[in-house]
Amino acid sequence: MKKLPILLCLLLSVFLAFAQPTEKQIKVQVSADHPDWLYKPGEKVTFSVLVSKNGSPIPQVKVRYEIGPEKQESWKKDTQILANGSLQLDGGTLSGAGFLRCIVIAEVDGKEYRNLATVGFSPNLLQATVANPSDFDAFWDKAKQDLAKIPLDAKMTLMPERCTEKTNVYHVNIQNYRIGARLYGILCVPKKPGKYPALLHVPGAGVRPYAGDIANAEKGIITLQIGIHGIPVNLDPSVYTDLGTGVLNGYPTYNMDDKDRFFYKRVYVGCVRANDFLTSLQQFDGQNLAVTGGSQGGALSIVTAALDNRVKFLGAYYPALSDVTGYLYNRAGGWPHYFDKNGRAVNETKTKLETIAYFDVVNFARRLKVPGFYSWGFNDETCPPTSMYAAYNVISAPKELYLALDTGHWNYPEQVEKMTNWITNNLIK
């Protein structure tokens, strides 16, 4: 009986990582005068603002707003009292490809309510800024060759409390990039004898436990949800809180001045190692393997599909680590914002710039050869759309982009449904 609350916490943590923000009684709506939020360079934008309570405009409401290129210094800031709760704002324009953002904060009964709208100017013309190293392929070929020399040494522990009538659930422990380094995850396997496709779930940023993807296993797919920090993924949630605020706080920058020791090297090869394990299972059908994730996991989905030709499909929500050098060219760069105004002084060094080029998602996206389904919104303030388009635009493989314009760093249920259907329809034929 004591295990049930922990399981509920695990499920809740996974849901919250991608969940729609909680609805509020007082709403600030910001929209653009083009229904698709797309404009041509030089074309002017008008933003509409409505502050309402119970669906009705709030009279004499005080708002402050700012307009400017996303993640850059705003060029227009002002405060106004809205007599009837609504306002039309001249947003200006951009002279080239990019994104323009309007942020509005309303003050009601001593509390602040915030929302935004972000419009795109020919985003399909955005070009990447990150360098493409001449020895990029050689670097990663060697990394995979080194990985192949390390025994898998897989250990599977059945978790009876999580198993269902149709699915066995295991805590998995496999050897990663060097002897003694481990990779952990939750494996879900259909109980019915047979051969099945496989789906690898790669994680978003942060340190947390995982519950596994039982739902897709019930459909007849082997699923593996992994962590990236080399620690078991079935511990009490308090352990991850302590690690995330302690020794693992700031992990995306660890050893950034050395491409062979940079934290994400072990992560990227670890995703390949997870596939080594999945494809070794006797229940795997030997052919159909996909990878999916959001944010950091969106980045890892692209990286894994580019590095591992066993992957046949990928699904990525708002991929992080994309064109992170954008800030050096006076535009938004990808999470974790190494070169924004807070990190530039520390990270803009020759060795760190050289390192990051081997890990930026753009350079993996260039090398994709398999179909992918992608989804994000223009209001994402964690993974700026400028950075995501920089990666998306270099993909020559078959690709499909589903936009949920007003979403930030979260998904509508419709997005999840479309992504899930696309992946399962490709895996189960």
Q: What's the rounded Cα separation, in Å, for the pair 176 and 338?
A: 27
Q: What's the rounded Cα separation, in Å, for the pair 230 and 82?
A: 53
Q: What's the rounded Cα separation, in Å, for the pair 234 and 227?
A: 10
Is 396 a known active-site residue?
A: no
Q: What is the DSSP secondary structure assignment for residue 283, as one 8-state letter?
A: T
Phi then psi dihedrals of residue 101, to 5 deg: -125, 140
Nearest alpha-carbon partner for 187 in 226, 151, 152: 226
Nearest alpha-carbon partner for 299 in 274, 279, 324: 324
Sign of CA pseudo-dihedral 20, 21, 22, 24: negative
Q: Are 25 and 64 in contact (CB under 8 A)?
A: no
Catalytic residue among 213, 276, 308, 380: 380
Q: Are 393 and 128 in contact (CB under 8 A)?
A: yes
> Ramachandran region of residue 372, left (φ > 0), alpha (ψ -120 to 50) or beta?
beta
Distances (CA, A) of 185 to 190, 230, 233, 315: 17, 10, 6, 19
Nearest alpha-carbon partner for 140 in 359, 341, 386, 422: 359
Catalytic residue among 213, 276, 295, 308: 295
Q: Which two structure tokens, joined as six digits, stand for 325?
A: 């050098």
Q: Which two structure tokens, joined as six digits, stand for 236?
A: 């009490």
Is 409 a known active-site residue?
A: yes
Q: Are 360 and 336 in contact (CB under 8 A)?
A: no
Query: β-strands 167-175, 56-57: how paired?
Result: unpaired
* β-bridge partners, 57: 52
Q: Which two structure tokens, joined as six digits, stand for 392?
A: 């998306």
Q: Which amino acid is at 235?
A: L
DSSP assignment string, 38-69 = EE-TT--EEEEEEEEETTEEPTTEEEEEEEEE
| Residue-level length of the chain | 429
* β-bridge partners, 76: 67
Q: Which amino acid is at 182?
A: R
Q: Which two structure tokens, joined as six digits, stand for 75?
A: 């060029």
Q: Are 112 and 106 in contact (CB under 8 A)?
A: yes
Q: Which are the catalytic amino acids?
A: 295, 380, 409
